[in-house]
Structure 1
């Protein structure tokens, strides 16, 4: 069935539940997994005017690694071979697709972050955009 599952997370409770489900699926089908989190790039105009790009990059990397820590621990417990990626990218869905492609993943297992109202119409969700732009199967978890 599936041999390598990409499991992106943003650290939210729904996303963490999807990490748990995705890793349990990987254990069940004896697949390896790659946990991914996407950090925002440094922008001088953002709320970081007193912090340089290098300091911000280190902070973002640490935050990203923190988001992946519990998933990596669960993977070890389940006996799932698991890599971790922290990627800086402007567009999370594109980073997810790029990582799935470059890592040779044959499934993306991710949380459904449903939006409501006008924001759903205007922005869409990262999950919806990934579904729209990839040929790799996407398992949407709730």
Structure 2
């Protein structure tokens, strides 16, 4: 049925639960998983703040996001490796994670996405945004949304 499962992760506790769920599903189906992490781009501060900042700020930021990326994807890879599930990791700097997810689905011929959601209500999505909510209307493949059973209903 499903042969390539895309599992986006941000490294949060909820995302790791979605990773475990996606890996278990892949194991049962004999599918491969593609782990994806979208790193936030550096946004230069306002001009008034620039004079107060060290010229290495962007370099330090970028080094930090790449270290986080390695840790996040490494955690996901360890889950798949422990389950004996074939896997691959992809990442990119992107301010629109849902667009990067859609692009990756097409590039790797994925046929399912497994993604976590915090289950915020409409106000929470408006204030904080939701990659999952923005992904659902544009996804070219089915999306399995993982929501922690212990979380209150929105």
Give the alignment's TM-score, normalised by structure 2: 0.82
Unmatched runs of 5 consecutive residues or more in structure 1: none
Aligned-pair Cα RMSD in Å: 2.1
Deviation at 1:55, TM superposition (A): 4.0
2: CA distance, partners of 1:81 / 1:19: 13
On the 8 A contact 1:114/1:125 being kept in 2, the answer is no
Deviations 1:72-98, CA, capped at 9 Å, x for gaps:
111111111100112110111111111
Show the counterpart of 1:11.
11
On the 8 A contact 1:2/1:29 being kept in 2, the answer is yes
On the 8 A contact 2:102/2:140 being kept in 1, the answer is no
When structure 1 is superposed on structure 2, of 45-54 and 29-38 the one drifting more is 45-54
Aligned residues: 142
Distance of aligned partners of 1:123 and 1:60 in 2 relative to their CA distance in 1, 3 Å threshold: closer
Residue 87 of structure 1 is aligned with which of 75, 89, 92? 92
1: CA distance, partners of 2:115 / 2:129: 15
SS of the residue aligned with 2:45? coil
Give the alignment's TM-score, normalised by structure 1: 0.89
Show the counterpart of 1:130.
135
1: CA distance, partners of 2:25 / 2:137: 23
2:44 equivalent to 1:44: yes
On the 8 A contact 1:39/1:64 being kept in 2, the answer is yes
Bigger Rg over Cα: 2
Show the counterpart of 2:112.
107
2: CA distance, partners of 1:121 / 1:27: 36
On the 8 A contact 1:7/1:34 being kept in 2, the answer is yes
Show the counterpart of 2:152.
none
